[in-house]
Chains A and B, each alone.
Chain A
Amino acid sequence: MKAFMRLGTMCLWLTATSPVCWALIAVALCSVWKWHLPQWVWLWMFVCAAVVGLVLSLFVEAGGGLYDRLRFARSGRIVMGAAAAAITVFALSLWAISSALLRQLP
Chain B
Amino acid sequence: MKKFFVRTMAFLFLLMLVVPLPCFAVDYGAIQIDGYYDDWEDKPHTQVYYGTIPNVSEIHLVSLFRDETRVYIHVKMSENNYSEFHNMYFSLYTNAGTVSYTAITEPLSEKKKPVVGTAGLTVHLQSNWNIVGTGYYTRAVGESDDAEFVIPLSTISSQPASITEISLKIVELGSQQIFCVGADTAPYIGIAICAAIALGPGGYYYYRRKKDQC
- A and B: interacting chains: no
Interface set of B (CB-CB < 8 Å, partner A): none
Interface set of A (CB-CB < 8 Å, partner B): none
